[in-house]
């Protein structure tokens, strides 16, 4: 009962300030709207990789096949680059204007059809994820083209061995026809592979929510941290005013006081999440209620971690100014590195691995496994365990550093 009394007292003190409602509810909704419209929708086609091509072969028979094959991949936008501008285009690769530059040399078709290896130049920035993707696509296309040329050459030699051609023109016509047949074969692959999200057959399809599937959970996680600023500030103000020390003269123990403070922060963050989840579900069409139990468990784990971190901020802060600084630093670092502003999947494996050293990334995984990836209860077990571990760590550090005077 003493724990609940302390928690309710803190909540009344926090909610008495109208600015708290702005920080806890109005600002998260506004930022959800902003990021929801800025982030590309999930049902929109992904932007293509811009690949510049310098056709030094002057429109030879293989150049057109290279361009068509790249465009047919669905992930490449081919940019024609004049031969005189290839050095500038190479600099554009380093400047991120284009993802790669492919230079086809003079005599490219003649060398390939003669069985020689043409000197093809490919310029990419291997430090750029887009460059690595472009390299894989372009190299695969070039290898296909060289294979196409070899098939056409062997076809001509076989036909010539059976019955010699009447003249050079007939031989060139047969070679051109063989080249077209070999190139067309790449468009009619008998076996196709599609990557689909793993999902039990009896689970409903996830709703198409566009950018709000990223912005809604992102702002919930971000402002769960920001909302602790007021709660931790109350804790520090009471310590400075001697209120915590006076509490010890009552039947309330150290454990009661700590539990009451943590409970207040927990209820504050959980209530904030409940409002934002409701707004996300009703106003933005984010499918939190696809698996209600999974969503609630992630909310509880996030609130536990946020409350423990709020207690830690209150324990290490010596004034309200420090509370504000520590809360803002925590919010920006954890939000940016944890995938609250953009999906970690687009940043590459290294950045994603670093991001998952932070609890915010696990909170985002928990929510997005439900609303974006269409997964069920089992998918949130690991994020919940990770958040619980961080909650225990922050709570332990807070109790170790906590001073009542």
| DSSP conformation letters of 192-210 | ---------TTSPPPP--T
What domain count does the chain have?
A: 2
Average pLDDT over residues 123-138: 72
Do 53 and 175 lie in one domain? The reply is: yes
Task: For residue 134, give the CATH number of its domain.
Answer: 3.40.190
What digits encode the pLDDT tens for the residues 189-202? Answer: 443 434 444 444 44
- Which H or E element spans position 76? strand 76-80
pLDDT above 90 for 21:
no
- Alpha-carbon dihedral of residues 373, 374, 379, 385, nearest 10 degrees? 70
| Beta bridge partner(s), residue 123 | 101
On whether both 299 and 249 belong to a single domain, the answer is yes
Are 16 and 98 found together in one domain? no
Residues 362 and 265 in one domain: yes
Between 118 and 250, the more confident residue is: 118
As beta bridge partners, residue 55 has: 104
List, in order, residues 6 or more apart from 94 with CB less than 8 Å away: 125
* The three-state (H, E, C) secondary structure of 151-196, written as one string: HHHHHHHHHHHHCCCCCHHHHHHHHHHHHHHHHHHCCCCCCCCCCC
Residues 31 and 53 grouped into a single domain: no
pLDDT score for 210: 53
118: in domain: yes
Label residue 350 exposed, middle or buried (CB < 10 Å: 0-12, 13-18, 19+). Answer: exposed
266 and 165 housed in the same domain:
no
Range of the domain at 133: 49-185
Q: Which of 165, 185, 205 is the last residue of a domain?
A: 185
- Write the pLDDT tens digit of every residue in 157-205: 787 777 777 777 777 777 777 766 766 665 544 434 344 444 444 444 4
3-state per-residue secondary structure call for 2-29: HHHHHHHHHHHHHHCCHHHHHHHHHHHH
How many angstroms separate the CA atoms of 71 and 86, rounded? Answer: 20
Given a contact cutoff of 8 angstroms between Cβ atoms, the answer to whether 338 and 365 are in contact is no
Indicate whether 305 and 266 sit together in one domain: yes
For residue 380, pLDDT over 70 is answered with yes
The answer to whether position 208 is within a domain reads no
For the chain, the straight-line distance linking the first and the last C-alpha, in angstroms and rounded, comes to 24
- What pLDDT does residue 302 have? 94
- Nearest to 386, CA basis, from 356, 353, 348: 356
How do residues 325-355 score in pLDDT, each as one tens digit? 888 888 888 888 998 888 887 777 788 888 8
Given this model, what pLDDT does residue 193 score?
Answer: 39
How confident is residue 360, by pLDDT bands cut at 50, 70 and 90? very high
């Amino acid at each position: 009962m003493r724990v609940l009394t302390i928690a309710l007292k803190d909540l009344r003190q926090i909610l008495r300030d109208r600015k708290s409602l702005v920080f806890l509810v109005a600002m998260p909704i506004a930022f959800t709207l902003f990021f929801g419209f800025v982030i590309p929708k999930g049902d929109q086609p992904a932007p293509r990789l811009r690949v510049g091509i310098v056709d030094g072969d002057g429109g030879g028979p293989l150049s057109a096949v290279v361009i068509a094959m790249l465009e047919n991949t669905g992930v490449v936008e081919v940019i024609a680059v004049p031969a005189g501008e290839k050095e500038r285009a190479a600099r554009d690769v380093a400047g991120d204007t284009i993802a790669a530059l492919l230079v086809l040399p003079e005599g490219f078709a003649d060398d390939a059809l003669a069985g020689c290896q043409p000197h093809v130049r490919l310029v990419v920035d291997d430090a750029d994820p887009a460059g690595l993707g472009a390299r894989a696509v372009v190299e695969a296309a070039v290898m296909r083209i060289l294979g196409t040329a070899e098939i056409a050459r062997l076809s001509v030699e076989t036909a010539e061995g059976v019955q010699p051609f009447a003249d050079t023109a007939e031989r060139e016509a047969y070679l051109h026809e063989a080249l077209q047949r070999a190139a067309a074969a790449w468009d009619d692959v008998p076996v196709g592979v599609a990557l689909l999200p793993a999902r039990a057959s009896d689970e409903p399809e996830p709703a198409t929510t566009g950018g709000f599937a990223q912005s809604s959970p992102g702002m919930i996680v971000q402002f769960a941290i920001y909302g602790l600023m007021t709660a931790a500030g109350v804790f520090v103000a009471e310590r400075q005013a001697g209120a915590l020390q006076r509490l010890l003269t009552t039947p309330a123990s150290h454990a009661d006081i700590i539990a009451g403070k943590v409970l207040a922060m927990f209820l504050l963050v959980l209530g904030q999440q409940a409002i934002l989840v409701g707004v996300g579900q009703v106003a933005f069409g984010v499918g939190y209620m696809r698996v209600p139990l999974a969503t609630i468990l992630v909310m509880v784990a996030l609130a536990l971690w946020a409350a423990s971190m709020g207690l830690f901020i209150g324990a290490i802060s010596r004034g309200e100014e420090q509370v504000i600084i520590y809360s803002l630093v925590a919010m920006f670092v954890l939000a940016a590195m944890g995938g609250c502003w953009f999906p970690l999947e687009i940043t590459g494996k290294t950045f994603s691995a670093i991001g998952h050293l932070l609890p915010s990334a696990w909170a985002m995984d928990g929510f997005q496994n439900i609303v974006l990836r269409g997964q069920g209860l089992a998918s949130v077990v690991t994020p919940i365990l990770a958040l619980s571990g961080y909650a225990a760590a922050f709570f332990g550090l807070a109790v170790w550093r906590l001073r009542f005077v």
